[in-house]
Structure 1
């Protein structure tokens, strides 16, 4: 009987512990959530949440001067980013200091691979006698500057990732009660392979500057060397280039990614280069002596082959000045 009472008592305690946790998160503003790579300080509640799929974000990257505009980070102190952005502001537990909160975030971010770019505490954040309220106004919002009257601790950190870097600024303050204001920016790497069509002028410019030009507007089916119809515009521009410069002789080099056997890819790239040369001779009247087909296979990559984006860049035809 005694064991039964203890079991029931334990269940009641567990229920109230779970309920308390649920209530803490239930107090978050509707539609909000933590940013997974950063998280929240234990016992905090979200009361401001904003998200944008693409925005310009200015983050503080150095101590503010004695005089500054409350609405704009000085140009020499700002890190300007563009990408997906989040603004999350938490009310933290009453009995926690800004320093303690920041110390927990600093350790957590470091453990996750973040690098701190800039951090400051109280007067170190402002090069002068300006109030901490003004610092809070700039980094968070003028409507919440009263949260930062006694203490401010600021941290800017970055996580470098192949799929895009993540920057996070965390302002921990203590005025009427502890507050944590986060600004997060996800910066995607620039996709620089979107222009697949080059005209004759662009081809000539690249040949004049570097002696070669990579073409991504020539198409083949997988493991095939027959030109697809979509290649016609680029082939026409190659012919135009050659006709504009009668003395120009080109090596037509085929390139593959590293999928498959080395010898097979050399053969495939040679056959593809030959298809391009044959098409230029038959359809555009270019003399055979002006075109030298060559199969480079996987031997000259321009990107890593460990992901499809890199492999796509390596699958190309290049024109090389002879």
Structure 2
């Protein structure tokens, strides 16, 4: 018995010391451990998935049978990585050994552990089917597909961990159920980040729709060098769309209107916005063969903002060029 205890203690020390960080075994699929989070010795990766942006919940406490939806939780969003591991049955490990080894590893890596629980049924310290409050059945059957019956776990010994470190939030579920010969565990990590919105590609149809509905259109995809009226090559596809729209409306005339944010003086921004409007008109006429008589360039600085100027996002929206129907 003493040898067995020392053997298990060795497992814990091995993980906590970081010696199994980023281990890759022959039975792994083509994937690696999440950086800075170790794996239980001899565990194999069975599933790996990543999403550049997702939203979720991090449980901070367990729930109860009486109020399953009532528990402390934290909303998380950002890059999401989910890894499913198998601990082969011939390791003779237990759920508690795996759970507490993982917990020791997280603490060694500087994570703050919020929830750590072990239960023989769903009515014990891990709450009442807590995992069903964290992920939907659809998500369980896809993102946790290789974790046998992850969504149910009604015939299992279950352990759970939740922890945070800086921008990273980790939720782990360890289980030995009747549905798998092995212990399995899931590592679900959110790395906080903002959603990177993609700018819509400007088309002549989009310009036509906006001008028809409101008499003007924001010319997205027009880029200038910093504090300059020099157009960049990134603007070419949008310039082609603008030229196509103006040529298709040969009997109409338009204003090309430059706008800025509120950084700098009024006169400076009037000059900058005028120079940028002039640059767009000049490029349309000289490079894209639009009739100059159809276009009048105007710079109005920051006197007609699209939104507030007290955030980076707002100022970016205010720095724009528009096309306005003249007649």
Q: TM-score, normalised by structure 1?
A: 0.50
Per the TM alignment, residue 215 of structure 1 is displaced from its structure 2 partner at its CA by: 2.0
Change (3 A) 1:209 1:110: farther
| Unaligned segments of structure 1, at least 5 residues | 1-16, 62-80, 112-118, 127-133
Aligned 8 A contact 2:159 2:175 in 1: yes
Q: Which residue of 1 aligns with 2:249?
A: 245
Q: Which residue of 2 aligns with 1:13?
A: none
Q: Which residue of 1 aligns with 2:301?
A: 296
- SS state of the match for residue 82, structure 2? strand
Change (3 A) 1:57 1:255: closer
Q: Which residue of 1 aligns with 2:290?
A: 284
Per the TM alignment, residue 169 of structure 1 is displaced from its structure 2 partner at its CA by: 4.9
User: In the alignment, is residue 30 of structure 1 matched against residue 23 of structure 2?
Assistant: yes
Per the TM alignment, residue 108 of structure 1 is displaced from its structure 2 partner at its CA by: 4.3
Change (3 A) 1:303 1:185: farther
User: In the alignment, is residue 317 of structure 1 matched against residue 321 of structure 2?
Assistant: yes
CA distance in 2, matches of 1:55, 1:231: 26
Greater share of residues in helix: 1
Q: Which aligned pairs between 1:52-91 and structure 2 lie closer than 5 A? A: 85-87=81-83, 89=85
Aligned 8 A contact 2:270 2:299 in 1: no
Change (3 A) 1:192 1:124: closer
Q: Which aligned pairs between 1:3-152 and structure 2 lie closer than 5 A? A: 21-22=13-14, 24=16, 25-27=18-20, 30-31=23-24, 33=33, 47-49=43-45, 51=48, 85-87=81-83, 89=85, 96=96, 108=112, 121=127, 141-142=147-148, 149-152=155-158
CA distance in 1, matches of 2:319, 2:20: 53
CA distance in 1, matches of 2:159, 2:274: 62
Deviations 1:124-162 (A, max 9, x none): 768xxxxxxx99xx66534999x9844336689999x8x
Partner of residue 186 from structure 2, selected from 181, 185, 194 = 181
Per the TM alignment, residue 87 of structure 1 is displaced from its structure 2 partner at its CA by: 0.5
Change (3 A) 1:315 1:148: same
Per the TM alignment, residue 54 of structure 1 is displaced from its structure 2 partner at its CA by: 5.6
- SS state of the match for residue 255, structure 2? strand
CA distance in 2, matches of 1:213, 1:60: 39
Give the paired residue count.
255
- SS state of the match for residue 270, structure 2? helix
- SS state of the match for residue 26, structure 1? coil
Q: Which residue of 1 aligns with 2:69?
A: none
CA distance in 2, matches of 1:58, 1:219: 31
Deviations 1:160-219 (A, max 9, x none): x8xxxx786532336699864223466872431263xx3433311222244432224445
Change (3 A) 1:103 1:52: closer
Deviations 1:220-265 (A, max 9, x none): 4433335567756645543443343356443322133555445422
Q: Which aligned pairs between 1:186-265 and structure 2 lie closer than 5 A? A: 189-193=195-199, 195=201, 198-225=202-229, 234-235=238-239, 237-245=241-249, 248-257=252-261, 260-265=264-269
Q: Which residue of 2 aligns with 1:171?
A: 173
Aligned 8 A contact 1:254 1:296 in 2: yes
Aligned 8 A contact 1:193 1:313 in 2: no
Give the RMSD, CA atoms, in angstroms.
5.9
Deviations 1:268-312 (A, max 9, x none): 012221343455567532426x535132348625698866x8766
Per the TM alignment, residue 101 of structure 1 is displaced from its structure 2 partner at its CA by: 10
User: In the alignment, is residue 270 of structure 1 matched against residue 266 of structure 2?
Assistant: no
